[in-house]
A and B are shown apart, each in its own frame.
Chain A
Amino acid sequence: MTPEDNTTVTRPKVETRKRRFSLVWLMPVLAIAISAYVVWNNYNQRGPLITIVLQSGAGISAGATEVRIRDLKVGVVEDIGFSDGMAAVEVKVRLDKDIVGYVDEDAQFWLVEPQVTARGVTGIGTLLSGVYIAANWDGVEGEFKDRFTALTVPPLASVGEEGTRIVLRARAGGQLAAGAPVLTSGLEVGRIGQPELSKTGNTVTMEAFIFKPYDARLTSNTRFWDASGLSLNLGAQGLALKVDSLAALIEGGVTFGEPVTGGQLVSDGHVFDVFPTEAAARENAFEANVLPSINVSVLLDGDINGLNLDTLVRFRGIKAGEVADLVGVAVEDGSDNPVRLRVDLRLSPTRLGLSRDQTADEAIAQLKTRVANGLRARVGQEGLFGQTVILELVRLPEQPTAEITQGEDGRLYLPTAPTAEVDPNSGVNGLVARLSGLPIEELMAAATDALGNVSRLTTTADGLLQSEGLDRIPLTLDKTLGEMRTLVEAIRNGGAIDNLNATLQSADSALKSVDSAAASLPALSARLNTAAGNLEAVIAGYGDQSRLYGDLRGVLGDFARMAESFRSLARSIERNPSSLIRGR
């Protein structure tokens, strides 16, 4: 077949009419529909984007780092960058949609990293999985917030943990660290938050969280004390070493107890002081019930050595308060030494004899009346050697009139009186004076008399031994006399007498020597008695009327008196050794 043969052949008509819309077009429509649905669904499922400001972006990576609540993922970091000025790191977090309602003002975020502390290892999962951002908020829906600053330390209580938040106030420079345990009876019942230095720099306050149900033990009578480290106690029972817990040793910690029962339950935010030792805490509890306190100040000239925080304030010999703060202040009064020491006192009205039910103002008014009657504050001393500096509130009517003044800083200033004159009877000089006042001369005279008697007795005894009738003395008496001679020798030459002599002649070592002499006195007196007994036996061997009998009788009487005088000396020293010191 050639084309020429088929000239009649008509080519099949190519249909050029527009065919109806092909069904295949449904496919792209379907694809668009599905894509649109997926996109919409995805967008709809997207939670809010929030910004968290962190100090450091260590370990955070966009798209991988999670935000977790109770270890469940609730969001993912989408982006990480710097905040304005590169001062911090800003992390954008896409949260799940179903938790949006809870992301309000009280939401907290913090970075969880592996940590090795004295109490164990936390966040170990983050070693493998990388860090994550932990979140915490209450289960109450609130107004949405989209910008947060991450906490530098984990919050005290995680969501759902029940308990009581309190504030602990401790002396600055303590061992307490954030996360340290709160113990009671050796159990860990709470945690300590981040310590913050107060404005004055003297105290440190920190939040603490006591878990339920232990928080029921917190009352107004509860006292906290430092459980950090070791307490070493040297007492009658020997050496006592106490460690509250190993963790507390390393991290610090506080423990609490209720030395006095019957306190009222406290609510969140109650402020407790942390005492350095348990003893201090207990003492404070027993001396409690002094609130509310009156806060007054005094201005002191010059350097007051030994005055520090917690220095006692005494009023008529009882503790009426303590020093709450010491600040050097400049006073513009034209004097050459413008710097004064401002001492803030915390006084308890009840200890000042004011009524408990008074308001602070009323108490101040009463205090003003007393000041008008001569009440003054002054620096005093107490203790055996006057070595402890205290502040005294004393009534000194002869002082020029003064009144409570209010300073520019709003503080009330008590008028002061010059430092009390040192009592001549106090201090080391006083002790020496008291010692020298002792009736040592009389004692020595009495002792010399006694010794004289003993000498006479010895002479008589010698005469007795050399007398003609010696061979007539039975052997037993001979023996007894021999013993007696030894005894007398012992009394004459023996350490006891020398000791006593030395004691009485030396005023310097008076106390110590008298003590040892007193110890040997009973023995001496017992020996004298024995000697007397022996003599009696000798005498019994002679006739009633002999001269020897009379002599011996007298010696015996001397002996008995001497023994008695020694005994009474020993007794009086024994009963009242302080009489040597006090002189009465």
Chain B
Amino acid sequence: MMTARDHGLLTCRSCGLLAEPQASSCKRCDSPLASRDTASLQHVWAWLVAGLIIYVPANLYPMLRTTQAFRSQESTIVGGVVDLVHHGAIAIAAIVFIASVVIPVGKFIVIAYLAVLLSQPGPKNAHRLHILYEAVEFIGRWSMIDVFVVAILVALVQFDVLASIQPGFAAACFALSVVFTMLSAQAFDPRMIWDATDEGAPHDA
């Protein structure tokens, strides 16, 4: 397999233009250029930590505040799932649980796994790592189901005294958490996956 690096060239991560090794920015799109962005791991960790932190209040605080005829009820994400199960809506409960718990937590784990693995030298299964990376990237945009549900409910159910639904503090936290993990996944420089699997190929000259 031949890479731009093998030819002494740099690739722009934004537009794919090859550049001279000395170039510090892309001629076409003016993005900063680097053969391997080792700083990207820092970005990954930073966004991941931010996402993790913000995920805590997203679970502790109420996602929805439902008011039904003088009686208001606040439900957290997990509490909502439990309620749904109690009401027998197993399928919906499963969707909500997967979208708001399994996927975010899985994302945290996968990103952390990738970052840890890439910062350590040694042979790796590049194909598997790449699939993981792609999966994280792909899934990221689907993690907002909860936020969408809240947004739709808030818009639809507003009958003043009889019934109304207000978004809770957790909705904002959850959205931020999703955003942060997406940024974290995007900060990855996938080229490092290749390097790590390039047996014997030294990264340095």
Contacts and interface: CB of A to CB of B under 8 A. Distances in A.
Interface of A: 1, 3, 6, 9-16, 19, 21-22, 24-25, 27-28, 30-32, 35, 38-39, 63-64, 125, 128-130
Contact of B71 (A15, A24, A64): A64
A323 to B, nearest CB: 57
Contacts of A39: 57
Contacts of A128: 69-71
Nearest to A8: B8
30 contacts: A9-B8, A10-B8, A10-B205, A11-B5, A11-B8, A12-B5, A13-B204, A14-B38, A14-B204, A15-B35, A15-B36, A19-B38, A22-B42, A22-B43, A24-B42, A24-B43, A24-B47, A25-B46, A27-B47, A28-B50, A31-B49, A31-B54, A31-B176, A35-B53, A38-B57, A63-B74, A125-B70, A129-B69, A129-B70, A129-B71
Interface residue SS majority, chain B:
mixed
Given A14-B34, A24-B43, A27-B46, 19 more contacts: A1-B7, A3-B2, A10-B8, A10-B21, A11-B205, A14-B5, A14-B204, A15-B34, A16-B203, A24-B47, A28-B46, A31-B49, A31-B53, A31-B180, A32-B53, A38-B57, A64-B73, A129-B71, A130-B71
Contacts of A24: 42-43, 46-47, 187
Contacts of B187: 24
Contacts, number: 92
Contacts of B102: none
A134 to B, nearest CB: 15
A14 B203 contact: yes
A70 B46 CA distance: 50
Contacts of B199: none
Contact of A12 (B21, B54, B56, B69): B21
Interface string B27-59: 000000011101100110011011001101100
* A-B pairs with lowest CB-CB distance, top 7: A12-B21, A129-B70, A9-B8, A28-B49, A24-B46, A12-B35, A28-B50
A28 B184 CA distance: 11
Contacts of B39: 19, 22
A375 B42 CA distance: 112
Report which residue of B5, B39, B53, B73 has the largest number of chain A beta carbons within 10 angstroms of its beta carbon. B53
Contact of A35 (B34, B56, B203): B56
Nearest to B187: A24
B118 interface: no
Contacts of B54: 31, 35
B193 to A, nearest CB: 14
Interface string B66-86: 000111111000000000000
B115 interface: no
Contacts of A1: 7
A403 B168 CA distance: 86
Given A25-B46, A28-B53, A11 B6 contact: yes
B81 to A, nearest CB: 16
Contacts of A32: 53
A28 B49 CA distance: 6
A14 B47 contact: no
A442 to B, nearest CB: 95
Contacts of A15: 34-36, 38
A130 B68 CA distance: 11
A22 B43 CA distance: 7
A9 B7 contact: yes
Contacts of A11: 5-6, 8, 21, 35, 205
B99 interface: no
A38 B173 CA distance: 12
B204 A30 contact: no
B36 A3 contact: no
Contacts of A12: 5, 8-10, 21, 35
B50 A14 contact: no
A1 B4 CA distance: 13
A63 B21 CA distance: 63
B70 to A, nearest CB: 4
Interface in B106-149: none
A128 B70 CA distance: 7
B21 A13 contact: yes
Nearest to B36: A14
Contacts of B53: 28, 31-32, 35
Nearest to B60: A39
B21 A27 contact: no
A1 B7 CA distance: 9
Interface string B1-27: 010011111100000000001000000
B151 to A, nearest CB: 22
A122 to B, nearest CB: 16
B69 A6 contact: no
A10 B6 CA distance: 8
A283 to B, nearest CB: 53
A6 B8 CA distance: 9
Interface string B186-205: 01000000000000000111
Contacts of B7: 1, 6, 9
B31 to A, nearest CB: 15
Contacts of B10: 12
A128 B6 CA distance: 74
B42 A25 contact: yes
A3 B204 CA distance: 18
Contacts of A28: 46-47, 49-50, 53
A267 B150 CA distance: 60
Nearest to B48: A28
A322 to B, nearest CB: 56
